[in-house]
């Protein structure tokens, strides 16, 4: 079966969980066999893994005809695209886009990030998708998250092939219930046009059904999974301090509930001074959190190391005794699974999608700082609790593999295609 997938991020250049999940799922589907996947992203860097999917970068898709030689192409974009594919794409330009700002190859430039003119970039992505959809051969279209829904709809209109959209998050999660109307409209349009909708958790599925008014019959949950860690990731240097370390790792934004973590920390420190708290990451609420920690008088035990990249994440986890994810609304939340892979006991909010599939974690309501503080204290005080969660958690998370999720997605494809 041939699938055309639209995504926004792809490892190793990722900004959040979306890239990790798209990558894992694609690889998992490939492992199930008999899948030919074309994965389209805004801007490839050339160092992506390519053996399980063909990667096309929108920033190399021509929308205006330019006469360029093979040698020039090879030199210019050879690391990310085969010149033959460029010529084939060029043969399928479907309208005159010369009014747009294009480069010497007739391509639109993409940042591949989440810039301020994001809506414009989404639109451009959809324009390029028209070319891709006319060029390559596929049975089904699969759009990851709202940024690529317009591209998916466009492709469906061009080819008549069924569209599956994958909801990794909704605007309701990101905005704590006050959605941006533009984003909501794009999401709603995508859902209306989709032949089937895949959600990363039942929590998200409920949001899609109730807040977007979608027929439950065409919404299915496929929980995310994790990719096994490499030996390099597992064997990062260990920095153990003599104090117990409790870690929050993620964007410091409203959605992630950082203030509940600070409040719980204050409760723990009142009775148990030998604990340190770390809030790693960056975000628009960071300064507010620094203020709050100072206000609670725990700044000497509460640390903000900033954004962690690459192996720093694993070093951070390895140095931790407890991982906390107090998200107010988390469609899935892959980070506690990564913490469990590193053998760190995790506390997650019941409002996280991953709570639906995890047993060997502690689940609290995000607002219940008493319960959260109690759980933190229990893990750092009782070795039995730590070891039980650590060992059984590791065993559990190793069973959550992408090929199982991939299998479910393939089943959905077959259903949609009537096979």
Binding site for another protein (CB under 8 A): 267, 270-272, 359-360, 362-363, 370-371, 373-375, 377-378, 381-385, 387-389, 391-392
C-alpha–C-alpha distance, residues 395 and 390, integer Å: 9
Check if the beta carbon of residue 241 is closer than 8 Å to that of residue 276: yes
**Of 185 and 395, CB closest to another protein:** 395
Looking at the DSSP bridge assignments, the partners of residue 279 are 248
- Minimum CB–partner distance for residue 356 and another protein (Å): 14
**Of 82 and 368, CB closest to another protein:** 368
**Of 74 and 378, CB closest to another protein:** 378
- Minimum CB–partner distance for residue 242 and another protein (Å): 21
- Minimum CB–partner distance for residue 264 and another protein (Å): 11
**Of 255 and 364, CB closest to another protein:** 364
User: Packing angle between helix 402-416 and helix 17-31, nearest 10 degrees?
Assistant: 80
Kindly calculate the radius of gyration of the chain based on its CA atoms and give it in whole angstroms: 23
C-alpha–C-alpha distance, residues 204 and 200, integer Å: 7
**Of 286 and 373, CB closest to another protein:** 373
- Minimum CB–partner distance for residue 380 and another protein (Å): 10
Report the DSSP pairing between strands 275-280 and 219-221: unpaired
Q: Which two tokens stand for residue 287?
A: 């300064």
**Of 252 and 262, CB closest to another protein:** 262
Check if the beta carbon of residue 405 is closer than 8 Å to that of residue 222: yes
- Minimum CB–partner distance for residue 378 and another protein (Å): 4
- Minimum CB–partner distance for residue 258 and another protein (Å): 22
3-state secondary structure of 414: helix
Nearest 5°: the CA angle 208, 214, 220 is 65
């Amino acid at each position: 079966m041939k699938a055309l997938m639209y995504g926004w991020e792809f490892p190793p250049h990722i900004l959040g969980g979306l890239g990790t999940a798209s990558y894992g799922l694609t690889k998992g589907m490939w492992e199930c066999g008999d899948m030919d996947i074309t994965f389209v992203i805004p801007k490839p860097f050339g160092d992506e893994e390519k053996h399980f999917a063909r990667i096309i970068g929108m920033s190399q898709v021509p929308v205006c005809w330019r006469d360029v030689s093979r040698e020039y192409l090879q030199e210019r974009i050879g690391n990310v695209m085969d010149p033959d594919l460029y010529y084939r794409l060029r043969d399928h330009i479907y309208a005159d886009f010369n009014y747009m700002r294009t480069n010497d190859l007739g391509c639109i430039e993409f940042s591949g990030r989440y810039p301020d003119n994001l809506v414009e970039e989404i639109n451009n992505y959809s324009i390029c998708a028209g070319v891709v959809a006319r060029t390559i051969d596929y049975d089904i279209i699969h759009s990851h998250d709202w940024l690529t829904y317009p591209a998916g709809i466009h492709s469906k209109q061009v080819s008549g092939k069924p569209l599956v959209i994958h909801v990794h998050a909704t605007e309701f999660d990101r905005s704590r219930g006050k959605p941006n109307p533009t984003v909501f409209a794009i999401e709603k349009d995508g859902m209306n046009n989709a032949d089937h909708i895949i959600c990363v958790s039942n929590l998200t599925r409920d949001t899609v059904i109730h807040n977007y008014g979608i027929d439950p019959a065409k919404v299915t949950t496929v929980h995310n999974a994790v990719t096994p860690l490499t030996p390099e990731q597992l064997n990062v240097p260990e920095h153990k301090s003599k104090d117990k370390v409790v870690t929050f790792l993620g964007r410091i934004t409203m959605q992630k509930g950082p203030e509940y973590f600070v409040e719980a920390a204050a409760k723990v420190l009142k009775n148990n001074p030998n604990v340190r708290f770390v809030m790693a990451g960056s975000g628009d609420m960071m300064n507010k959190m620094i203020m709050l920690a100072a206000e609670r008088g725990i700044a000497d035990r509460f640390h903000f190391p900033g954004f962690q990249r690459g192996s720093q994440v694993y070093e951070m986890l390895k140095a931790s005794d407890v991982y906390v994810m107090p998200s107010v609304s988390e469609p899935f939340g892959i980070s506690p699974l990564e913490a469990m892979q590193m053998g760190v006991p995790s506390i997650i909010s019941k409002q996280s999608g991953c709570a639906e599939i995890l047993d060997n974690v502690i689940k609290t309501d995000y607002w219940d700082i008493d319960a959260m503080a109690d759980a933190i204290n229990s893990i750092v005080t009782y070795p039995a609790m730590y070891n039980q969660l650590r060992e059984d958690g590791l065993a559990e998370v190793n069973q959550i593999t992408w090929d199982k999720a991939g299998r479910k997605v393939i089943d959905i494809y077959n259903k949609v295609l009537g096979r």
